[in-house]
Structure 1
């Protein structure tokens, strides 16, 4: 059994990658989830099974929250909980591209204590443990040193830039980028390749938990869209948006955003 929580998550992520890469995205069987919740493939389900066996097999007393498992209140009574997204970026997987990830986290009393975002097709393992820093394939990560929003680079979907979301009636001048995997977007900010990321719509915990710790261990500030710290293993596992950047840009982003309903 791996000695630490992070060792366990890394080993599980690599096992998940081996399973997922046996499938060809465009040829994998696909179903639509009820209620317009998006697609799921046979690869998502196979990865979810191997993660459950690997993680709960090692820590049977931990709770379990996964995008591809039926949720139950049982996890709320557990001190520690696994929060996982078997394949984050399923549409990217279906399209046959490489920009999808496995996102795995251990949460203790609402806070992430270990997290991994792994892109097997790119051989990129982002990892962090509380108080130990964040790494990419073993190399230390750090956020950018951008000081202002104007001219910064932002990972966000286009609707986040609608004028109604900004106090000035228009967004600051930022270079916008996008990646289909939300977990990967978080990791890219931790790596310093982008200055910030935001999503003003509700965000499921399994998309965010691993990246939250990786970001904070890389020197970022993370919050919901109103600036509140992110907490996990909630009865409804959905966050009120996510903002992430270095302290200066995060503060500037909060000042620039208008209060109001999420997308």
Structure 2
């Protein structure tokens, strides 16, 4: 049987190829392209996962969630198109996420970055590059989080605007940035695969209070996360804790 890591990598990559083909040939742009991409990638991933792992649960951003998955130990958590806006605009900072959580822990992850021609997985972690000087803090293109901006100012870090959550997380894995601090609200499908990949690469991953990220919960909302180099984690968590309440 194909391993879970290999399955995740193959499906994320193939879904990305479907999205690239649609982007090039459909004639659609903007929101219409994003909607079509979400639908096509989700249809593909759901069909393939149900065939390959019929006994596992699946949580997808594009599927109605019944909650029945919570009684199953193994749950695939997928985002067929993370960064719909960036995809519709023809940018490269969008991703496909395929992850497997077992007993609430992100064990397997694959994040395809089709616009960059690569898929990063928990099975083949990339060696970490040296930290930047100055440090580089990833933030949303449109809504930089107050907490991230404040921490960056204290650390003297440069802000790096970027699109999807997966693209941001993989920028840290790839050595393009040092810290991804997010406090603006996400869901499990936004970060389960990126967390599995980042953790396998030797990065710190947690909620912004230092607690672990737990998956396959009845409520899939995950309000915040921190992905950063291990040597920066304690300082970043300390700075977040010291921030005044909004």
Q: Would the TM-score normalized by the shorter structure come out above 0.5? A: yes
Does structure 2 conserve the Cα–Cα contact (< 8 Å) formed by 1:114 and 1:213? yes
The Cα of 1:165 is off from its aligned counterpart by 5.8
Q: CA, structure 1 residues 165+43, in 2 after alignment: closer, same or farther (shift >3 Å)?
A: same
* Greater fraction of residues in helix: 2
d(CA) in 1 for partners of 2:64, 2:244: 28
Structure 1 residue runs of 5 or longer lacking an equivalent are: 32-38, 135-140
What are the equivalent positions in structure 2 for 1:18-167 lying under 5 Å apart? 18-24=17-23, 27=28, 30=31, 41-129=35-123, 133-134=124-125, 141-146=126-131, 151-157=134-140, 159-161=144-146
Aligned to 2:16: 17
Q: CA, structure 1 residues 58+178, in 2 after alignment: closer, same or farther (shift >3 Å)?
A: same
d(CA) in 1 for partners of 2:97, 2:226: 18
> What TM-score do the two structures reach when normalised by structure 2?
0.88
Residue 76 of structure 1 aligns to a residue whose secondary structure is helix
d(CA) in 2 for partners of 1:41, 1:67: 12
> What TM-score do the two structures reach when normalised by structure 1?
0.83
Aligned to 2:2: 3
Residue 226 of structure 2 aligns to a residue whose secondary structure is strand
RMSD between aligned residues: 2.6
Q: After superposition, what is the alpha-carbon deviation per residue over 1:232-261, rounded to whole angstroms, capped at 9, x for unaligned?
A: 111111213011111221111011114679
Structure 2 residue runs of 5 or longer lacking an equivalent are: none
d(CA) in 1 for partners of 2:189, 2:234: 25
Does structure 2 conserve the Cα–Cα contact (< 8 Å) formed by 1:156 and 1:176? yes
d(CA) in 1 for partners of 2:128, 2:210: 19
d(CA) in 1 for partners of 2:94, 2:245: 25
d(CA) in 1 for partners of 2:244, 2:77: 26
1:189 and 2:172 aligned: yes
d(CA) in 1 for partners of 2:188, 2:62: 13
Q: CA, structure 1 residues 260+123, in 2 after alignment: closer, same or farther (shift >3 Å)?
A: same
Residue 126 of structure 1 aligns to a residue whose secondary structure is strand
Residue 27 of structure 1 aligns to a residue whose secondary structure is coil
Does structure 2 conserve the Cα–Cα contact (< 8 Å) formed by 1:144 and 1:246? no
Q: Give the total of aligned pairs.
A: 242
Q: CA, structure 1 residues 162+76, in 2 after alignment: closer, same or farther (shift >3 Å)?
A: closer
